[in-house]
Amino acid sequence: MNIGDVSRRSGLPAKTIRYYEEIGLIRPARSPNGYRSFRESDLHRLAFLGRARALGFTIEECRALLALYQDDGRESAQVKQIAEDHLARIDDKIAQLQSMRATLAHLVSCCAGDDRPDCPILDDLSAGVGAPHDG
Amino acid sequence: MNIGDVSRRSGLPAKTIRYYEEIGLIRPARSPNGYRSFRESDLHRLAFLGRARALGFTIEECRALLALYQDDGRESAQVKQIAEDHLARIDDKIAQLQSMRATLAHLVSCCAGDDRPDCPILDDLSAGVGAPHDG
DNA sequence: CCTTGACCCTCCAGTGACTGGAGGCCCTAT
DNA sequence: ATAGGGCCTCCAGTCACTGGAGGGTCAAGG
């Protein structure tokens, strides 16, 4: 298979596949003409990577997961640890975004959104540093 | 004020403040010795930026918001538009993360996390591309 | 006068995970 | 011979910083 074929079958852009080779996540063979020549096992690895990335794992986590996947002597606890760490990160991010969302939604609901300049959003943003009021 | 003072008062790292100058968000004066010399108005801008960034606005949105803030002839609708676009982006991200979270939490709950190699997390990740099964 | 230490400066490189583009080779069909 | 699509490498850019090297400035203490 050429890169275009694996790109279509894995759903990953060719650029990304080349990048994954560059950082050592896959090692496709080469044809005499210099083209990358992918086996089914390469495609399988790429599909794995695509799923893991879609779940938000970092590249380094993907690398670790792939290594565990290949390792018959792994302990599922190692995999679970990676997944749980990632889950915790996701929860942090969700919490952060929800906090932003709450503040922002409130400000938006307070703003008339008309042709006048008065704007509670800007008022809030500019209210950070205490203006030195007599004292 | 030197950069260390505004850093402390705005909560932004000195590096970030220099960066904001580099990209034209602030224009502090200079002392004869070459040090940046910040006025209260610079600090105010930085605090504004800090708040806007904390709400997740991009730098370019911050630039636009600052411009509107300075513009007495603004219409609050312009501000609201930026905030609503951002709110929509946040909602997208939250939805995406929650979908990841759901899948991942399910997988984690299915994984024994012991010393044996069997792992539903890896099974799921590797189940992307149809293995050619007899036919 | 000299040193110490905290502060400040600029410039360069790196982060994560790609993405876009230039410039050029390969292969098949006409 | 040519046209087109696919493939190659290498370089630069994204976003918003962050770290570090190498060096100047300033006030206090010996």
Q: What does the pLDDT look like over A73-97, one tens digit per residue?
A: 999 999 999 999 999 999 999 999 9
Residues of chain B with Cβ-Cβ distance to A91 below 8 Å are: 101
* Residue pairs spanning A and B at CB distance below 8 A: 179
pLDDT interval class at A127 (50, 70, 90): confident
**Coil, helix or strand for A36?**
strand
Q: Do A87 and B104 touch (CB under 8 A)?
A: yes
B47 and B10 Cβ atoms separated by less than 8 Å: yes
pLDDT value at position A134? 40
In angstroms, the CA A1 to CA A89 distance is: 37
Instruction: Give the residue from chain B lying closest to A45, CA to CA.
Output: B126
Residue of A65, A82, A119 to mutate when probing chain B, most B C-beta within 10 A = A119
Q: Do A87 and B103 touch (CB under 8 A)?
A: no
Q: Do B128 and A47 touch (CB under 8 A)?
A: yes
Q: Inform me whether the pLDDT recorded for A132 exceeds 90.
A: no
pTM of the predicted structure, to 2 decimals: 0.90
pLDDT digits (tens, 9 = 90+) for B62-113: 999 999 999 999 999 999 999 999 999 999 999 999 999 999 999 999 999 9
Q: In angstroms, what separates the C-alpha of A68 from chain B's closest C-alpha?
A: 8
Secondary structure (H, E, C), A42-101: HHHHHHHHHHHHHCCCCHHHHHHHHHHHHCCCCCHHHHHHHHHHHHHHHHHHHHHHHHHH
